[in-house]
Amino acid sequence: MARGPLFQDDYHPQFSGHETFPLRYGWLKKAFDRVAETEDKPGNRAACWDDEAIARFGVGKNMVASMRHWAKVAQVIEETEKNSVRTKKLGCMLFGPQGLDPYMEHPATSWLIHWQLAARAEKTTWFWAFSHYPAITFDRDIFVKKLDRFVESRPWPNVANTTIKNDVACFIRTYVARQPSGRVGHDDALESPLTELGLIKAIGKKDGFRFVRGPKTTLGDGIFVYALIDFWSRYSNASTLSFEVIAHAPGGPGRVFLFDENDVADRLAALDEVTGGALRWSETAGLKQVVRDIDIDEDTALSWVPADYGELAEMEAA
């Protein structure tokens, strides 16, 4: 597992599905609502994504496919083998009748969605970019070439260079807002909500970019604990998890949140207080690790999420 899921024999890469459209505000809520309306009917997949969806969602056919893709990879909905679509626990928590943030107004929601896209290996470019790309700065063309070479080194089906270019373009648009063009158009107002996280910045020439490493002031402790438990559940069932793994393993919090080692250490040192001792930072006998006294399942991970919304709501009220 040390090299990460992209190196597993049973891994299936994904470089498409978004129809070149990055995630947009409102899409996850619209997709969630439609699935929630129909999920009590067997075989409801057609009722969610048929030709009538164009009028229902007010977008083109390709955008309907893109909405469906983003809702699935964001863990908001899931499709079964029986032509059915169901809402998932995270989707219900965020977008349900008592949802924490149905309109994605809180940074916590964007951090949660970023985690789903970049910490899970389902979206190959996202996972590779945050967990395996070797540099802080990158040029779009060089980035494409490095990803192309990586794909060729794996025993995967051939992937067209155009497909990789389009996926990289969508990846960049997910995190980097379009530069001002001097005119305001309809599309200019439809940036991805993840651009507000500031994880990637445009620099210098037109196609130069930089991963922004360091502390993340808008990332709350609740989302960090959720991410740590979620990663832990996929990495190991052991009762301890080392600092090295948390900071550097592919798909781990250190990589996905672009933390420096000091940032990770600061977060881990606060775990005992944040979790009431459920997770504890230990440096016994020179071993730097987190010790758990809780299960590492989905429900336990999700239970830490609401805390950040309470803090944010209090901040807004003040």
CA–CA gap between residue 150 and residue 218 (Å, rounded): 33
3-state secondary structure of 139: strand
Instruction: Note the pTM of the prediction, 2 decimals.
Output: 0.94
CA–CA gap between residue 255 and residue 143 (Å, rounded): 18
pLDDT for 134 equals 92
- Please name every residue paired with 211 in a beta bridge, in sequence order, or none if there are none: 200
The answer to whether residue 201 scores a pLDDT higher than 90 is yes
pLDDT 10s digits, 51-102 = 888 898 988 999 999 999 999 999 999 998 788 999 999 999 999 999 999 9
- Whether the CB-CB separation of 37 and 85 falls below 8 Å is answered with no
pLDDT for 180 equals 59
The answer to whether residue 193 scores a pLDDT higher than 90 is yes
The answer to whether residue 131 scores a pLDDT higher than 80 is yes
Average pLDDT rounded to a whole number, residues 256-283: 97
Share of the chain above pLDDT 90, in %: 84
The answer to whether residue 159 scores a pLDDT higher than 50 is yes
The answer to whether residue 228 scores a pLDDT higher than 70 is yes
CA–CA gap between residue 194 and residue 233 (Å, rounded): 25
pLDDT for 285 equals 82
Average pLDDT rounded to a whole number, residues 24-48: 94
pLDDT for 286 equals 85
More confident: 263 or 83: 263
CA–CA gap between residue 190 and residue 69 (Å, rounded): 17
The answer to whether residue 175 scores a pLDDT higher than 50 is yes
At what angle are helices 161-175 and 140-153 packed, to 10 degrees? 130
Average pLDDT rounded to a whole number, residues 146-169: 97
Average pLDDT rounded to a whole number, residues 6-24: 96
pLDDT 10s digits, 281-301 = 999 888 999 999 999 999 999
pLDDT for 181 equals 52
pLDDT for 204 equals 82
Compute and round to an integer the Cα radius of gyration of the chain.
20
In sequence order, the 6+-apart residues with CB closer than 8 A to the CB of 72 are 78, 79
The answer to whether residue 110 scores a pLDDT higher than 70 is yes
Average pLDDT rounded to a whole number, residues 43-48: 92
CA–CA gap between residue 117 and residue 174 (Å, rounded): 11
Closest CA to 228 of 173, 75, 220: 220
pLDDT band at 166 (very low <50, low <70, confident <90, very high): very high
pLDDT band at 191 (very low <50, low <70, confident <90, very high): confident
Average pLDDT, the chain: 92
